[in-house]
Amino acid sequence: MATASGSGMGGAESFPSTPLATPIATPVSTRSVKWEKDVEDAAAGTLDRPLLHKRCTNTTSQMAVVGANTCPIESLDYEVVENEVYNQDWRSRGKLQIFQYQALKWALALFVGLVVALVGFFSNIAVENIAGFKLLLTSDLMLKNRYMMAFVVYIGCNTTLAAAAAALCAYIAPAAAGSGIPEVKAYLNGIDAHSILAPSTLLVKIFGSVLGVSAGFVLGKEGPMVHTGACVASFLGQGGSRKYGLTWNWIRYFKNDLDRRDLITCGAAAGVAAAFRAPVGGVLFALEEVTSWWRSALLWRTFSTTAVVAMVLRGLISYCRGGHCGLFGKGGLIMFDLSSRQATYTATDLAVVMLLGILGGLLGALFNFFVDRILRVYSLLNEKGARSKIILTVTISVITSCCTFGLPWLTSCTPCPPELAAGKCPTIGRSGNFKNFQCPAGHYNALASLFFNTNDDAIRNLFSAGTDREFGAATLLTFFVTVYALGVLTYGVAVPSGLFIPVILAGASFGRLTGSLLGSISGLDTGLFALLGAASFLGGTMRMTVSVCVILLELTNDLHLLPLIMLVLLIAKTVADCFNKGVYEQMVRMKGLPYLEVHAEPCMRSLVAGDVVSGPLITLSSVERVGTVVETLRRTGHNGFPVIEEPPFSAAPELCGLVLRSHLLVLLQGRIFTRARAKTGAAEVFRTLAPFDFAKAGSGKGLKVEDLELSEEEMDMYVDLHPITNRSPYTVVENMSLAKAAVLFRGLALRHMCVVPMTQGRPPVVGILTRHDFMPQYIRGLYPNTIPR
Amino acid sequence: MATASGSGMGGAESFPSTPLATPIATPVSTRSVKWEKDVEDAAAGTLDRPLLHKRCTNTTSQMAVVGANTCPIESLDYEVVENEVYNQDWRSRGKLQIFQYQALKWALALFVGLVVALVGFFSNIAVENIAGFKLLLTSDLMLKNRYMMAFVVYIGCNTTLAAAAAALCAYIAPAAAGSGIPEVKAYLNGIDAHSILAPSTLLVKIFGSVLGVSAGFVLGKEGPMVHTGACVASFLGQGGSRKYGLTWNWIRYFKNDLDRRDLITCGAAAGVAAAFRAPVGGVLFALEEVTSWWRSALLWRTFSTTAVVAMVLRGLISYCRGGHCGLFGKGGLIMFDLSSRQATYTATDLAVVMLLGILGGLLGALFNFFVDRILRVYSLLNEKGARSKIILTVTISVITSCCTFGLPWLTSCTPCPPELAAGKCPTIGRSGNFKNFQCPAGHYNALASLFFNTNDDAIRNLFSAGTDREFGAATLLTFFVTVYALGVLTYGVAVPSGLFIPVILAGASFGRLTGSLLGSISGLDTGLFALLGAASFLGGTMRMTVSVCVILLELTNDLHLLPLIMLVLLIAKTVADCFNKGVYEQMVRMKGLPYLEVHAEPCMRSLVAGDVVSGPLITLSSVERVGTVVETLRRTGHNGFPVIEEPPFSAAPELCGLVLRSHLLVLLQGRIFTRARAKTGAAEVFRTLAPFDFAKAGSGKGLKVEDLELSEEEMDMYVDLHPITNRSPYTVVENMSLAKAAVLFRGLALRHMCVVPMTQGRPPVVGILTRHDFMPQYIRGLYPNTIPR
């Protein structure tokens, strides 16, 4: 029977989406209840602290700012559910099956690498060809002096591509907009929202990203590649599908969240590796930025996935060098050639580099601030529907086109350096350092060389060494300001948009500008300055250290740069950390995803676990009436229910364990009922159901309570929950410090934690803590002025 | 009062060193007790499982094979002890103090980097000069054809140096022998044995390593550098010393195991960075091999420490290039110049590389097997005392000298390649590819070029590209076999000895041998083959992937090699993992250190927490008679005692928390006693003692029970334990699956875990689980045939 003990609430995870979840209790002012009880307890003289009487429910809902309609959020089940089904499954696995499982897990990880490499390669070729065709068309018209026509073609191509990308995002998969790294980060923190990694999101992410980058936006395809990698891994890790008959014996072993988590980590790393051709950087990125729980075994597996990516890409690129890939040339995946050429630095050099770090940190923090503000504005527009999303995107596209086409007219033409051969300056083709734009023969337009190019080529131009006087200070300043502003404006439109490229572009131009201004007192190359500038901006916005450092090293292939890059990154991160959080953390928060931080909030130290459990607690008896179970499942959205062993099965009520909603549904579907209230035992269950039937389906695919069709007679029978009850749920005593409970919850990646009473003679469980109960905003709502202990 | 409830045993950590720890119970056969109780429980009809009645004590002692006298082993306290002292301390810290703490923690981490870099640099210079002087002396005599004299000088120098190193190790710090990486690994897993990181160990490690490497042994200084780094960090992280008046306010914040752990991780990473000049590799090594718990914040801090190392080393080396450092030349820290020069590989190349990986894995696993066997033999000799240690070392030194001096005589002289200038071949100086040895002018001795050199130079010779025909197959085979055998023989002598160099030497010669045999079917350079061979051996013995890969990349400074190195590493590790464990894990196990593995043993899944708690459980009352406390501390070596709240302070006995031995001693020392049995409260405690008084002293330095001097009268008074009781100990219910309890214990880095009863009406705590209770050998001893659940 379902007991509403008026204390603690079980598994409130999908609460905001299921208003049915507050059936019994009417929310009462927490504070008043609290103090009332305090007095009672004090009178009873047994307890120092108020206990477990909150009738309020936990409503830390998604205050999503970006991507208006976030879907219902569930937590993932990373805890091993040690019930008889699990034990049966585990015992039934022979050595061969364990080997199959291991081998298949490896094969899948490598396959993810292969697929991600192919996708990365495809999107690169597509961008190179589409953007290349667009730029060729425009520059041909420019050469014929038909400037107006060129502008029309240019802006027409850009807006068409932008509108297509926005339409894909707005109508098919809204979750595909933006970088995707915050979503992957949240998923790996245990937050499941179906659309985050859905196949539709994957497709839109790939094509939307190609279209968006080709449209000449100031955005990159690196962030989206991470999301793509995670989506590919999630798709492959579904563990087969019953619907399509894909249920081989060995595929079913992956039908659990733990294996999926590992695979998706590999996918995210593969995405970075494919985007930057940086296999070690990919692993470190996954470790530093994306995952919340890391296992040593994962290091190895992730590493092999990225190794596959690196090898496949290398093979494909050498194939393309033969000219088989259209306009895809030496551009391709980013790879900059830059050498330090000097082994020692003077003290002045170091001082200049430190200055760069400080400025980069400041500008990076400012960038995060602006992005935050602009996203809040955009979210108001985006909420109005798909059409307004497309209009916003097109508007930004037009602004971008006007800037990139218009600004080069403001600069005068520069004569080509005399030492260069005629073919090299100006370059009339697709890529190269010197764009002629509107200039006469023998001259080039410096600003056009940066603007009128793909972003990859612009970065390559900025990073190129030994070209100290190619770009003047005014050119660089104009470019920097424009790119910085456009970068802020572009992020948040309904297009898959990575932040790496805008930040690198802005940072590189800023660094080169600093270099050309301070070149007289420092002996470093301006190309190196550009690299250090990019590093400082990356450190200032993303707050990553090791992974950005390794990615930059892998991009430039010169390890001698390491100490300088490290220095600049550390300074930039330290400076920026004084002002705000990293851009991805900021976005996770803005999207209202209940992300569990590593460190407990300071306010938690003055509270105990019993202080935050919210009611009503719904428990099931170990042998329960079918009707009660069904009713409980219908009434609530909870995912876990404490099971109480009651007389006659035990002398006194005691906690038997925790049962999951999905397992309850499978058991009910199997109709293993008895007329009398008696244990049926596990053997009876396994006569009808196999352990595999209890495996967790892909997100959004499991049984629902509406799918059950039970007769009136069946509703009056009893069901034995013992076989599916997790006998070893993690528990905390109600007077456990909340901070330490949070460490346990986060450290072991739990979804439910049972709170048990300290004193005897009370119900054996007094509440359940879930992710939402540890959210700082919820706790601060309960206790606006935390009471010191 | 001390209750011997006959169930569960508290904090058995220092048990093997304190035979007093089994005062009450006589060990009874576990099995018989178990089944007896089973029957009882079945009769009572309340429980499915036997519960908590083992009267045996946990005696998983150190079966140390290596380094005979391991000192008493304690666990480290990583859990936050949330008692009133802690809360008081935390509340009293202002913003300024928190900033001080942060700033100082950073400063210490950077300072560790600086010191480790200086130590690394010093030991390099010392080795280069001592070994260089020795080789110069010998080759001068050789040039004068006084071969016998040269041999006498050579062997004399070597044995003297070896004897000195062994004497240092044997008499001053036996813990300094060997690589040191297993010890650091164990420390960071929470195992504290005082001498592991003591200052004497540090000094012997540095000087012993210099002497050992100079003595021409086939061993490296890389492993010892890691240990040195950890020792330096441990020394700096002591948090001041009362004895020497070094107790600044801000230094005392580091008097806890958590901060020390962070610092020692930085130190270990700095050691790798200093040994290989590989800052990123150092961080990854610490992450992959050394630490057991990793925090994201640590990544950043470790990274900055290694950045400091890299920058300081770079500065010092460029200073030495000016010729200010004696014989220290371009040799110095390892840095190999090797380029792939080719971007594509054929399928044959890949097949050859795979073959190399497989063979490397097999030979690596075999190496581990031999090392294991030889260590068991050596430990018998080493146990006999310091003198036999020295004799063993000198014997191995003589064998090594005979091999390195004798074997080159077996090969005939090779004429110098005609394209080389006269000065380059043969090289008469210190380092170079072509040693003339006994050969006439214009000829060189290939084997001497490898043997008659420092190990670093030998590796450089093997790695050098474009010298395909310098070393014949016979030369390489001889060298490989000798180095492989000497590597096995040398590890385990009483000298600080790293395994990296022997493994790289053997691997490189093996790889080059394969290359020269298969050169006809593969287009890869033989130098590249040597590198891949080294990678395969490293993968096969140490089983590291990412860190070895990055270290090799940082050594060779060519990222194009990445895919091949990755491939070979993965294959070698996979192959070797089929046979045995990595060499460091093997050694941790052999030294009998109670290392907690990440994964629970499969046998734990069929047991529950209550099955392994061992007795007798010793508890204290929340207000306890002083005499009882003192007696308990004297009688047992336990580190933690459950505190029971008893009437009149509560209605029924309930678990108040856990109190630590060190805190008890401080409280007793402070003499905060009352005549009546009553609570005194925290305020009374803080009138006499400051929170700092409860800070954990450096290992082996805290108060001891023998230091207490209490009068008879005081022994009869009462002491209130509430202020020092950790009110939030982590607990598990007795029927919690042992596997899940192990996950909790290891995941949160606990030292004690209270086991609470499932049914009501029993004592509030039924036992304590500590590290030893999770050791597989202990569990297997209790349940030789684990019963399926």
A562 and B87: CB-CB below 8 Å? no
Q: Does domain A98-324 have CATH number 1.10.3080.10?
A: yes
C-alpha separations of B586 from A485, B195, B604, B742 in Å: 57, 21, 22, 21
Q: Is A562 close to B310, i.e. CB distance below 8 A? A: yes
| From-to residues of CATH 3.10.580.10 in chain A | 3-58+614-782
Contact between chains at B303 and A570 (C-beta distance less than 8 A): yes
Closest to A395 (Cα-Cα) out of A146, A217, A618? A217
With an 8 Å Cβ cutoff, are A553 and B559 in contact? yes
Determine the pLDDT at residue B533. 94
Which is nearest to A297 in space by CA: A127, A21, A138, A109? A109
Q: Return the residue in B293, B330, B556, B733 with the most chain A beta carbons within 10 A, the one to mutate for interface testing.
A: B733
Question: What pLDDT was estimated at residue A412?
Answer: 80
Alpha-carbon dihedral A514, A518, A523, A525, rounded to 10 degrees: 30
The shortest CB-CB distance from A300 to any of B82, B545, B760 is to: B545
For residue A304, the distance in angstroms to the closest alpha carbon of chain B comes to 7
In this predicted structure, what is the pLDDT of residue B504?
93
**Rounded to whole angstroms, how far apart are CA atoms A333 and A329?**
10
Contacts of A730 in chain B (CB under 8 A): 732, 740, 744
Superfamily per CATH, domain B347-408+459-558+567-590: Clc chloride channel (1.10.3080.10)
Query: For A91, which of B300, B546, B788 is closest by C-beta distance?
Result: B788
The token pair at B267 is: 């130190």
**Cβ–Cβ below 8 Å for A655 and B758:** yes
The pLDDT assigned to A392 comes to: 94
Closest CB from B557, B558, B563 relative to A310 = B563
CB contact under 8 A, B563 and A87: no
CB contact under 8 A, B550 and A760: no
User: Which residues of chain A neighbour B93 with C-beta distances below 8 Å?
Assistant: none
Start and end residues for every CATH 1.10.3080.10 domain found in chain B: 101-324, 347-408+459-558+567-590
Which of B266, B276, B280 would you mutate first to test chain A, the one with the most A CBs within 10 A? B280
How far B231 CA lies from chain A's nearest CA (Å)?
25
Angstrom CA distances, A592 to A62, A71, A352, A781, stand at 4, 11, 40, 16
Regarding an ipTM greater than 0.90, the answer is no
List pLDDT tens digits, range A589-644.
888 888 988 888 888 888 899 888 877 889 999 999 999 999 999 988 888 999 99
pLDDT of residue B241: 60
- Does the pLDDT of residue A3 top 50, yes or no? no
Closest-CA distance, A498 to chain B, in angstroms, reads 23
Give CA angle at B762 (B761, B764), nearest 5°.
110
Cβ–Cβ < 8 Å for A619, A643: yes
Question: What is the pLDDT at residue B30?
Answer: 31
Is B605 within 8 Å of A296 when comparing Cβ atoms?
no
Judge: B546–A299 Cβ closer than 8 Å, yes or no. Answer: yes
Per-residue pLDDT at A484 exceeds 80 = yes
Please tell me the distance in Å from B746's CA to the nearest CA on chain A: 10
* pTM recorded for the entire structure: 0.86
Question: Cβ(B668)–Cβ(B710) under 8 Å?
Answer: yes
Count other Cβ atoms within 10 Å, centred on residue A684. Answer: 14
Chain B contact set for A283 (CB, 8 A): 546
Q: Between these two residues, A470 and A472, which has the higher pLDDT value?
A: A472
Residue type, A146: R
Q: Pick B744's closest partner by Cβ from A570, A652, A730.
A: A730
User: What residues does CATH 3.10.580.10 cover in chain B?
Assistant: 3-58+599-696+703-782
Q: What is the mean pLDDT of residues A581-595?
A: 88
Q: Which pLDDT tens digit goes with each residue over A715-733?
A: 999 999 999 999 999 999 9
- Give the residue from A640, A599, A605 showing the smallest Cα distance to A747: A599
Max CA distance (Å), chain B: 99
Report the 10 Å Cβ neighbour count for B383.
14
Closest approach of chain B CAs to the CA of A651, in angstroms? 7
Which of A559, A599, A743 is most worth mutating to test chain B (most B CB atoms within 10 A of its CB)? A559
Across the range A535-550, mean pLDDT stands at 91
Q: Which residues in chain B have their CB less than 8 angstroms from residue A733's CB?
A: 655, 728, 731, 756
Minimal CA separation from A731 to chain B, in Å:
7
If you classify domain B3-58+599-696+703-782 with CATH, what class do you get? alpha beta
Substitution target from B47, B645, B722, B727 for chain A, most A beta carbons within 10 A: B727
Q: Which of B277, B339, B340, B545 to mutate to test the interface with A (most CBs of A within 10 A)?
A: B545
Lowest mean pLDDT among A119-128, A417-426, B617-626: A417-426
Helix B546-556 and helix B257-276, axial crossing angle in degrees, nearest 10: 40
With CA atoms as reference, the chain B residue closest to A314 would be B344
Instruction: Write the class of the CATH domain A349-384+454-590.
Output: mainly alpha
Tell me whether residues B303 and A549 touch, CB distance under 8 A: yes
Nearest CB to A303 within list B295, B566, B736? B566
User: Are A654 and B760 in contact (CB < 8 Å)?
Assistant: yes
CA distance A31 to B576: 62
Residue extent(s) of CATH 1.10.3080.10 domains in chain A: 98-324, 349-384+454-590
B293 contacts in chain A (CB < 8 Å): none
Return d(Cα A174, Cα A492) in angstroms, integer.
Answer: 12
A291 burial level (CB within 10 Å; 0-12, 13-18, 19+): buried
List beta partners, residue A493.
A491
CA distance A647 to chain B (A): 11
- Is B279's CB within 8 Å of A303's CB? no
DSSP state of B243: T
Between A702 and B753, residue with greater pLDDT: B753
CA distance B516 to chain A (A): 25
A303: chain B residues, CB-CB within 8 Å: 545-546, 549, 566, 570
> Quick one: which of B396, B387, B415, B108 has its CA closest to B264?
B108
Greater model confidence, B60 or A23: B60
Q: Which letter does DSSP use for residue A435 in this model?
A: B
Predicted pLDDT at B215: 93
Q: Which residues of B touch A288 (CB under 8 A)?
A: 296, 299
Q: How many CA atoms lie within 13 A of B419 on its CB side?
A: 4
Query: Checking DSSP bridges between strand B731-733 and strand B673-674, what pairing results, if any?
Result: unpaired
Q: List the structure tokens of B450.
A: 């490898």
Give CA–CA dist A356/A571, Å, rounded.
Answer: 9
Give the distance from residue A47's alpha carbon to the nearest chain B alpha carbon, in angstroms: 9
- What chain A residue is nearest to B292 in terms of C-alpha separation? A296
B344 to each of A316, A321, A390, B466, B495, how far by Cα in Å? 11, 12, 45, 18, 44
- Among the partner residues B563, B730, B736, nearest to A311 by beta-carbon distance: B563
Question: Across chain A, what does the average pLDDT equal?
Answer: 81
pLDDT at B80: 85
Cross-strand partners of A496: A178
Cα B479 off chain centre by: 30
Examine the pLDDT at A59 and tell me if it is beyond 60.
no
In the predicted structure, residue A773 carries a pLDDT above the cut 60: yes
Closest CA to A696 of A71, A47, A53, A74: A74
CATH 3.30.499.10 is held by the domain A3-58+614-782: no
| Residue recorded with tokens 């020392």 | B669
Compute the distance between CA of residue B482 and CA of residue B517 in angstroms, rounded to an integer. 19
- Return the higher-pLDDT residue of A146 and B156: B156
On the question of pLDDT at A425 being above 80, the answer is no
Question: Between B787 and A355, where is the model more confident?
Answer: A355
- Top-confidence residue, A342 or A67: A342
- What are the residue ranges in chain B where pLDDT is below 50? 1-71, 331-334, 340, 787-789
Q: Which fold has domain B101-324?
A: Clc chloride channel (1.10.3080)
Asked if A562's CB is within 8 angstroms of B557's CB, the reply is no
Mean pLDDT confidence for A269-292: 90
Q: If you average pLDDT over residues A136-164, what whole number do you get?
A: 91
Task: Using the structure block, give the residue that is written with the tokens 């996954």.
Answer: A286
